[in-house]
Every structure is written in structure tokens, then in C-alpha cells.
Amino acid sequence: MDSFTKAIKRYLEKRFGNSIEDASERQIYQALMVITRDKLAEKRYHYINKLKESEQKRVYYMSMEFLVGKTLRNNLYNLGIESEVKNFLSENGFVLDKIYDIEPDPGLGNGGLGRLASCYMDALTSQEYPITGFSILYEFGIFKQVISNGWQQEFPDNWLDLGKYGLIYRSDEEVEIKFYGETKEQWTSDGLRIKYEDYTPIIAEPYDLMISGYETDAVNVLRLWKSKASGGFNMRLFEQGEYSKSVESKAIAESISKLLYPADDNNKGKELRIKQQYFFTSASLQQIVKMHYKAYNTLDNLAEKVVIHINDTHPSLCIPELMRILMDEYEYSWDKAWEITIKTFAYTNHTIMAEALEKWSVDLFRPILPRIYTIISEINNRFCKWCKDIGASVDLEEMSIIHNDMIRMANLCIVSSYSVNGVSKLHSDILKKDTFKSFNRIYPGKFTNVTNGIAHRRWLGQANPELTKYLNELLEVDFIKDLSSIENLLEYKSDESVINNLENIKKIKKVQLAEYIKKNTGLTVDTNSIFDVQIKRLHEYKRQLLNALHIIYLYKEIKYNALKPYPRTFIFSAKASSGYVMAKNIIKLICSISEIIEMDPEVRKYIKVVFLEDYRVSLAEKIIPAADVSEQISQAGKEASGTGNMKLMLNGALTLGTMDGANVEIYNAVGKDNIFIFGLSSEEVSDLSERGYRSEEFYQNSSVIKETIDFMRTLDNGDSNFNYMADYLVSRDPYMCLADFESYLEQQKLIEKTYQDRIKWGQMSLVNIANSGIFSADRATSEYVKEIWNIKKVK
């Protein structure tokens, strides 16, 4: 620790010519970021040497998104020096929490998928497994959201300005990526070779972010690639008069790592998206192969030493890229290259939503990546032939990788990986029985499940130090090291003093959140009210609209039927993809309800609606510990797993949910008396869809639905969209909010009643915390380690 504080002082002197007494907060921030990073890099040096010596198998985790969250607190916490640093700073007149606030939240992801990747990096590092993450160094991460008159507005997020201090630039490991051009077969004295001509070269510059683990010597790395033009412009083309082509590399390079693509925006900028995907997969693969060859002087044993994990289909171009490298650069035959490839890749599917299953048109794809296209096409030809040869009665229309001139990336992943997994039991069953049923038939044993998990050290240890401290004292077990031991809490279920203490901690977290709400929205919320929370990406299938409809119902009842409900604060936070009009309309609706209630003294005594703008990891860390109710109300069958549901449960919130994704497993873990379940099951949803869902029938046949929607229309003042949304619900309602509304209402009433029985609620909350052990990312990643990757800890 002494050396750490000395290093900080030295940095301030050398970099700014300042003593710590004269330093600004910004300088302290920079010093802390750089010194922490360098300390981790030093630790990594020893770790990587052990790893090299052991020659053990490693995992490479490919993901277009990593939502790492703020790094400084996480690293100090993991290094076990947070309190010393805090004291050192306070002795010198600085508050560590204020320094933490300076760090931007690197928004290199949209939601659950990206956060999961980071939870896994953290958990695997804490358990000392050798993993490297690969992604893109987006100059602009997900946009900053500002709500103006109820509508979302997007602003660029220039996170690197202050975030760059955590990164190490590795100029020695740049690689070149080839786009466009042509490939020609050429006979040489060594046989047939592929020659690349007239391509546009782009350089990938590597930047490393150190990933620390809790109480461990392991330090893994997240490598982020930044695109750069290769050597200015092409002289030959310029001389030939092809001016725009001559600077093509520069233009492409500037665009590739510029911006994170919003989820659900798959129809826009497809060409750039393909380039981004190939850019980072090619850079990563080239590096992996080069390192492997350097270590072993052969690639024959690649699959014994390397697993490449594909996080959803976005990195699926890894597959043809490995084939290309093996054949074109290391002279492997197709058969030998294929044998290695199919033993190297494992793929996780994260969604069955049709719009998210990536497909690229051949016409668009082929000119950008001609060689890669040929390889995919050959994989497909051979796969189709193999199906016929084995006499499989399979539907090639469904399974062919290229169909109707579209390349289906999920099919490519399934055919080329040795393992395919879903992210909750229900989701994995749906993949096997429905989405990919034909593949499951011809590849028995390939499909498996790993239910998601969360980094509890961040989501409990760091986000809720009050609860962590209390449980530490009470349980006398190191549940931060091993979350399964938190189940000891069950012994205290009948201990009223423990229930009271838990309630008091919840209250502290609610007060802290109330302050944040006041500061950021001006709204005063009652900390004795039920904090009812729905925080996640805004998407219709997640059904924020159903939640809003319930609030409208309460508003009507309070206003016209003298209902006096137990006070409740509805808290929302969510970003809508910039091109997703309906999602933006739902935000507008929620904000309008909030405003109307706030203007009505009669109603605001009972209910309040808060929309917190700019949802991000660090905001989730503030909201989750303060939540009483966790809204997990997606249409059954649509949410692959959910991970917010686990974080909220771990912090003692009770789940109000459908039997969807990992909610089903939460239900099994806590038992039916400790959760509020409502709505159609996924089979019932499918049946109803097949029969033809008509929301209007629900509107006509249920007086409560009819009255709520009719009332909703009366709220429209011309500047709001109540009428528009009412029409949408009655005429379309694609995710069946109306079909589940009454059953949702019933559970909401039960929540209100149960909450007032403080002992009962406290016991339910305790049971949730105590049973959250299985949702630790340590458990989830252990399953990947044993069932899929077959890797060992670095000793």
C-alpha cells in the first residue's frame, strides 16, 4: 500500500508538477486510474508467465459488447486496498466517492448481453481461469439519453476523454484486415495458393483493459481493437486517377470503430455492421493464431489449447476467418482446417426474437468480404451434402446456411461449433424444441444450457456495502468469495431482529436513491412507499407498457373510485434504441403519466412515477439495492433469461414476473410463496398466437381493461400520446399486454397487501437473498468451464 500511495504522489509530481496538496480532483483521478492500471499490468506479468509455462488451454471470449461498468472502484475493491486509498485521500482532503464519480461508465454495450460478458470476465478472473475478451474500442459507446418533454433524445458519449487512462496501447501487436478486392487462385511451386488483390487494408490497433479478480493473483485482459487507416492513401490508385478509391481506407477506418450499434437497429447501416464484425473477429483471430503458433510451432493442436466462445452471432465471422487463416496462411487442406475449426468454437444464443437473428444478404456481403463469402458458401455446400449423405430427413429450407440469398449467421454458428447453449432452462428448451429443432435432431448432444449468472461482488459487495457488511457480521462466512454460503441466512428467517435489520438497510438504500431522484428529477419520493422497479432496455416484449397500464388503472381508481392504495413509487429507467419509434412512445407515455400524477395532489399522495434518464451500469448500482419489487414481466417465451431479475433478488427485492427466462428458476429456488407470478405460460402464448390473438376481444370482454383504456384516452391533452397508445393496445398489442392484464393486477394487489405485513415481507425478502447463490456468475462460469470449455485454473 505504501508503494501505491508513493506512486500516486510521484505521478502527480512528474505528470503535473504538483504535490498532492495542490492537486485537483481531476489530477487525482488520472493518477489513481494510471497507477491502478499499472499495478494490475505488473501483476499480470507474473500471471501470464505462469500461464505460458503451464501451456494450458485458454478461452477467448468474443463479444461485440462488454458493459464493464466503472473500473476504478472495482479494481481497488478487488485489490483489497479500497479503504486504505480512501483514508489516504481523506487525509489529504479528497473524497474517494467524488473521484469515482469522475470516471465515465464505458457504454460499450446495449444491455444484458454486454453486461453478462463483463460479469463473466470478472467471475472467471476471480476464479483464476485464463480468459481473454475481445471487442471493439468504440469511440462513442451507447448514447447519453436526455428526456426532453417526455421524449428521448440521444447525445454522443465521448467516454474515452476520461476513460482512456484505464487502457494500455499495445502498438507492437497491430494487425492488418483486408476488405473488398478480389481473390485469385494461383499455382505456385508449393501448390495452389490464394492471392488477394486490390483490397482495402485497415489496421487494427490493440488497447488492453486490465480485468482484476477478487483476492487473486490473476489479471486477465479485455482487448479492444481500434481501426486506423493503413498508411494514408493508395499512391497507385491516386496516380491512376481513382481519387476517391485512393482514400477509401481512411474513410472506412474512420467509421469502423466510431460507434456502437444500437440493438434492434439491424436494418440500418448493415454494411458498416458487417465491417465491424469482420474487423474485430479477424484482428482477434490473427492474434490468437499467431500467439499459438509462436508457442507451439504448429496449429495442429489449436483445439486442444484454445476455445473461442462466440457471444451471440455477432462474432460468427470468426468461423470462416479461422478457416481462411488455416488454409490461406498456413496451408492446411479444407478437411484438416475444418476438423480443427469445429472443435474450437462454442456458441451462446441470447435471443429467439426473429429480428435479432442476424441475416446478411449475399449481394451486400460478397463484395465486402469476397474470400470469407466463398468459405461460408463452401461450408454450406458441404453441410447440405452431408445432410443428404446421412439420409437425414431434414428441412434444408430451415437449416441451410444460405437461403434465398441470405446468409443466416445462427445456422453458421450451429453447424460450425461443438457446443450451442441457451441462457436459461426454458430458453434452452425452446431452442431445442422450436427455434432450432431440426438442428437438434441431427446434432444430438450439441445443444445445452447454462443459466446466466451475475458478478455478485459488484452487485452486492460494491453496490450494497451496508448489506454486505451486515451479512458478513451475521453469517460469519465469506459469501463474497463463495455466494452459495449465503444460504446460511435461512436460519434467521424467524428472527425478527434480523428481519428488522434487513428492513433498516433497505431503508438506508431507499433514502440514498431518493436523494439521487430529487437531485436528478426534482421529484420528492416517499421512502416509506413501495419502490417498484423496472429497469432494462426498452423493448415491447419486456412490456414496460403493461406496467404503465397498471399505473393508469391505479390513477383512475384513486381519482374516481376513492381507492386509497398503500403508497408506491414506480421507478423506470431504460434506453430505447434510437430508431425504435414504439419504444420511444412508451417512454413518452410513462413520462406523461408521471407529469399528470405530479400535478394532482389527490393522487400523488399515493403513487408517483419516476423515469430516471440515462440508464447505465452505475445507475443500476444505485437503484437495485433500493428496490422492493422487481418487475420481470416480459411476455412468456421471449426473455431468454434476464439478469436484472437476479441482481434485484440478491438485494432483497421480490420478483413480480411471468414464467419466463430465469424467472422460472428463481421461482424454483425461492418457492411459490416467495414470488409473485402471473400471466400466460410460454405454451399458452404460442397456442394463443396460433389461434390468432385479437386484443380487441380482451378489451371488449373485460370491464376492467375497457375502463382502464377508456380512461387512458381521457388523459390525452394533445401533447401526449395516450390516444395513440390506447389505439395500439386495442388494435395490435403484439406482446399480449391485455391478455395478461387482469392476472397482473391481481398479483399487484397481493403485493400491496403483503408489503403491509412487514414481518412477512421481510421473511420473503430474506428467503430471496438466501437463495440467490445459484445465480452467481461463479456458478454459471463453472458450468462453462466444466461442461463446455474444459479448462483449468492457472496455478
Active site residue 706: no
| Identity of the residue numbered 177 | I
Q: For residues 371 and 196, is the Cβ–Cβ distance under 8 A? A: yes
At its nearest, how many Å lie between ligand GFP and the CB of residue 66? 12
* Residue whose CB is less far from ligand GFP, 358 or 639: 639
The residues, any chain, with a CB within 8 Å of residue 390's CB and separated by 6 or more, are: 442
In the complex, least distance from residue 260 CB atom to ligand GFP, rounded to whole angstroms? 13
**Selected catalytic residue, list 39, 43, 324, 350:** 350
Comparing CB distances to ligand GFP, the nearer of 119 and 552 is 119
| CA 359 vs CA 368, 385, 410, 550, 674: distances in Å | 15, 22, 8, 37, 42
352 versus 736: smaller Cβ distance to ligand GFP: 352
- Does the active-site annotation cover 542? yes
Closest distance of CB 618 from ligand GFP, Å: 17
Among the listed ranges 108-116, 128-136, 273-281, 592-600, the one in contact with ligand GFP (CB under 6 A) is 108-116
Sheet of 654-657: strands edge to edge?
607-611, 568-573, 530-535, 629-632, 654-657, 676-677
| Interface segment toward ligand GFP; rule CB under 6 A; list 106-114, 189-197, 492-500, 775-783 | 106-114
Site for ligand GFP in 415-444 (CB under 6 A): 423
Q: Residue 165 or residue 447: which is nearer to ligand GFP going by CB?
A: 447
Instruction: Please report how close the Cβ of residue 412 comes to ligand GFP at its closest, in angstroms.
Output: 20
| Residue 119 or 399 with smaller CB distance to ligand GFP | 119
- Is position 760 annotated as part of the catalytic site? no
Annotated catalytic, 314? no
Q: Is 66 exposed, middle or buried (0-12, 13-18, 19+ CB in 10 A)?
A: buried
Task: State which residue, 423 or 627, has the beta carbon closest to ligand GFP.
Answer: 423
Based on CB atoms, which residue is closest to ligand GFP, 111 or 166? Answer: 111
Give min distance, CB of 654 to ligand GFP, in A: 19
Residues 344 to 373 in contact with ligand GFP, rule: CB under 6 A: 350-351
461 secondary structure, DSSP code: I
Sequence letter at residue 112? G
Residue 537 binds ligand GFP (CB under 6 A): yes
CA–CA dist 406, 402 (Å, integer): 5
**Using a CB cutoff of 8 Å and minimum separation of 24, what contacts does 516-523 make?**
516/612, 516/622, 517/571, 517/610, 517/612, 520/612, 520/613, 521/610, 521/611, 521/612, 523/594, 523/598, 523/608, 523/610
> Per CB under 6 A, does 315 bind ligand GFP?
no
Q: Which stretch binds ligand GFP (CB under 6 A): 104-112, 270-278, 380-388, 767-775?
A: 104-112
Q: Rounded to the nearest whole angstrom, what is the least distance from the CB of residue 751 to ligand GFP in the complex?
A: 23
The one among 12, 113, 119, 454 contacting ligand GFP by CB under 6 A: 113
Task: Give me the torsion for CA of 312, 314, 315, 320, rounded to 10°.
Answer: 110
What's the Cα-to-Cα distance from 64 to each of 136, 423, 570, 650, rounded to whole Å?
7, 18, 33, 28
CB of 575 to ligand GFP, least distance (A): 10
Rounded to an integer, what is the distance from CA 754 to the centroid of its chain?
33
| Residue 326 or 649 having the CB closest to ligand GFP | 649
Q: By three-state DSSP, how is residue 736 classified?
A: coil
Q: How many residues bind ligand GFP (CB under 6 A)?
A: 17
Q: Which is nearer to ligand GFP, 64 or 79 (CB)?
A: 64
Burial 246-272 (b: 16+ CB within 10 A, else e): bbbbbebbeebbebbbbbbbbeeebeb
Query: Least distance (Å) from ligand GFP to the CB of residue 631?
Result: 14
Choice among 542, 568, 588, 604 that is catalytic: 542
* Catalytic residue (one of 536, 543, 575, 638): 536
Rounded to whole angstroms, the Cα distance separating 376 from 396 reads: 16
Closest distance between ligand GFP and the C-beta of residue 131, in Å? Answer: 17
Question: Which residues, 6+ apart, have CB-to-CB distance to 684 below 8 Å?
Answer: 636
CA angle 674, 431, 360 (to 5 degrees): 125
Q: Is the dihedral of CA 466, 471, 473, 478 positive or negative?
A: negative
- Estimate to the nearest angstrom the gap between the alpha carbon of 638 and the chain centroid: 16
Alpha helices in 599-721 (DSSP H): 601-604, 617-623, 644-650, 663-670, 682-691, 695-701, 703-714
**Binding range to ligand GFP, per CB under 6 A, among 105-113, 554-562, 569-577, 748-756:** 105-113
Site residues (CB under 6 A) for ligand GFP, limited to 38-97:
none
Report d(CA 108, CA 137) in Å as an integer: 8
Query: Which residue lies nearer to ligand GFP by CB, 489 or 620?
Result: 620
Cβ-contact 151, 588 below 8 angstroms: yes
**Considering beta carbons, is residue 253 or 583 the nearer one to ligand GFP?**
583
Own/partner long-range contacts of 475-481 (Cβ < 8 Å, ≥24 apart): 479/773, 480/214, 480/456, 481/214, 481/215
Closest CB to ligand GFP among residues 424, 529: 424
d(CA 416, CA 439): 12
Q: For this structure, is 647 an active site residue?
A: yes
Q: How many CB atoms lie within 10 A of CB 59?
A: 24
CB distance 620 to 648 below 8 Å: no
Q: How far apart are CA 62 and CA 279, in angstroms?
A: 12
Nearest approach, Cβ of 641 to ligand GFP (angstroms)? 4
Catalytic residue, chosen from 647, 655, 779, 781, is: 647
537 is catalytic: yes
Candidate ranges 112-120, 195-203, 579-587, 590-598; the one touching ligand GFP (CB under 6 A): 112-120
Question: Which residue among 183, 419, 440, 452 contacts ligand GFP (CB under 6 A)?
Answer: 452
Instruction: Single out the residue of 69, 106, 112, 213 in contact with ligand GFP (rule: CB under 6 A).
Output: 112
Please report how close the Cβ of residue 594 comes to ligand GFP at its closest, in angstroms: 24
Question: Which residues, listed in sequence order, are joined to residue 310 by a DSSP beta bridge?
Answer: 62, 347
Contact characters 478-517, ligand GFP, x per CB under 6 A: ----------------------------------------
Please state the closest distance from residue 639 (CB atom) to ligand GFP, in A: 5
Residues 606 to 665: which contact ligand GFP by CB under 6 A? 639-643, 661
Set 58, 359, 537, 608: catalytic member? 537
Q: Which residues ranging from 256 to 295 are in contact with ligand GFP (CB under 6 A)?
A: 263
Beta strand pairing status for 306-311 and 58-62?
parallel
* Burial of residue 485, with CB atoms counted within 10 A of its CB: 0-12 exposed, 13-18 middle, 19 or more buried: middle
The interface region with ligand GFP, picked from 11-19, 109-117, 208-216, 465-473 by CB under 6 A, is 109-117
Catalytic residues: 350, 536-537, 542, 643, 647
Binding site for ligand GFP (CB under 6 A): 110-113, 116, 263, 350-351, 423, 452, 537, 639-643, 661
